[in-house]
Each structure stands twice: as structure tokens, then as C-alpha cells.
Amino acid sequence: MVQETVMTRHGVDRILKFAFDLAASRPKKHLTSATKSNGISITMPYWDERVEAMAANYPGIRWDKYHIDILTAHFVLHPDWFDVVVGSNLFGDILSDLGPACAGSIGIAPSGNINPEREFPSLFEPVHGSAPDIAGKGIANPIAQIWSAAMMLDHLGEGEAARAIEEAIVATLEEPRCRTRDLGGPADTVAAGKAVAERLA
């Protein structure tokens, strides 16, 4: 059985450009590339080569790379080492589950499926799924959805409003009575949602 990976310069460069631009927009100006060029000996060295080429366009960005195995360990042991992390599909897949797990609950994890060129609408959704086991009970944590709303506003150019929502989320979660069950609190979906909205008013 054979399965192939195709990495084109077009495909690799455009995600790297987005990642470097994102890193440039953040205070730490730091980017980490997830790789495995010691084991996956054709596509990943190419990935590394493109990272290095893209980095040349961003002299203000400090960047490094880690093989995916040790990178997962560092996520747990030294999360403060990282700011923006970029990886190809499988590595991003692994890291983006590890990240929210390290942060405590998948109920607060948002995501954006973004078309940076803005030729098409981008899509914002919580990382969690439809959760049939708790559906209809009104106990789901709305924070991931609300944070996804903040990401959407940021994408639309309303950065100030986006940051306000994020801060309202932080302030809400600081209060134990506003936390939903997955965070050990007593609040239901509507109560937690209203608590965030009230802090925005």
C-alpha cells in the first residue's frame, strides 16, 4: 500500500506567509515550524527549505524549528517557549488538539477556517463538535463559540471589539459561578453566554 504526500511551493508558501504575517503582528514576533525532516526525508526537508526562504523576507521575526516528537514534549513542559506555531496538516492536527488540552478544556477552543485573500467568506466555528451526548440539555460551554465570534470580528477588521469579547470571556471565567459544568461550575449554556454579553455592555 502506498500513500503519497504532495507539497507544492504554492501550498507551502502561502501558509508560511500567513504564519509569518501573524507572528509579525504579535508582540513576541516569534514563529516555530513543526517539522520531521530527520525521518520524513523528502517532503519535510522541502518544508524546512521553504521556511528558511520565507524567513528571509521577515528579518524582524525570530524563528526556530522542532521535530514534531520533541515539539509535543515542549508544548507540555515549556508552553511559554511558543507563540505562533505552523505545521502541515497532520502535525497541525496533533498540536491543535494538544494545545487546547494543555489549556484545560475543549469547550473553550475556537477556530477559524480562513481565506486570507478574502476572495471568499471565511468560516469560524468552535473546535468541539455537535456532542450528541449532551445535546438538548442546555449545559454545553458556549465559550468556544463566543471566542470564535471574536476571531470573526478580528478577521472583519473589528479588532477592538474582538479583544473586548476575549477580555469579557476572561473576566467571566474568573467567576466560578459563571463557569459551565466542564469547568467545574454550575452555570448552564445561557447563563454563561449572558454573563459574557453583560460584561460587553
Q: Which position among 41, 59, 60, 78 is part of the footprint of another protein (CB under 8 A)?
A: 78
State yes or no: residue 48 binds another protein (CB under 8 A): no
Q: Rounded to whole angstroms, how far apart are CA atoms 143 and 197?
A: 11
| Backbone φ/ψ region at 118: left (φ over 0), alpha (ψ -120 to 50), beta | left
Check binding of 10 to another protein (CB under 8 A). yes
Phi then psi for residue 200, to 5 deg, are -90, -20
Please tell me whether residue 130 binds another protein under the rule CB under 8 A: yes
Return the residue of 48, 67, 92, 181 that touches another protein, per CB under 8 A. Answer: 92
- N- to C-terminal Cα distance for the chain? 58
* Min dist. Cβ of residue 38 to another protein (A): 20
- Figure out which of the listed residues 103, 167, 181, 186 binds another protein, where binding follows CB under 8 A: 103
Taking residue 129's Cβ as centre, other Cβ atoms within 10 Å add up to 8
Please, what is the minimum distance in Å from the beta carbon of residue 49 to another protein? 14
CA 122 to chain centre: 15
Give the residue carrying C-alpha cell 498540536: 95
Our CB check for another protein shows the closer of 61 and 86 to be 86
Q: Which of residues 132-191 bind another protein (CB under 8 A)?
A: 132, 134-136, 138, 140-142, 144-153, 155-158, 160-162, 164-166, 168-170, 172-176, 178-179, 183-185, 189-190
Q: What is the CA radius of gyration of the chain?
A: 19
**Does 59 engage in binding with another protein (CB under 8 A)?**
no
**Least Å distance between CB 157 and another protein?**
8
Q: How many residues sit close enough to another protein to count as binding (CB under 8 A)? A: 115
* Alpha-carbon torsion, ordered 46, 49, 53, 59, to 10 deg: 140
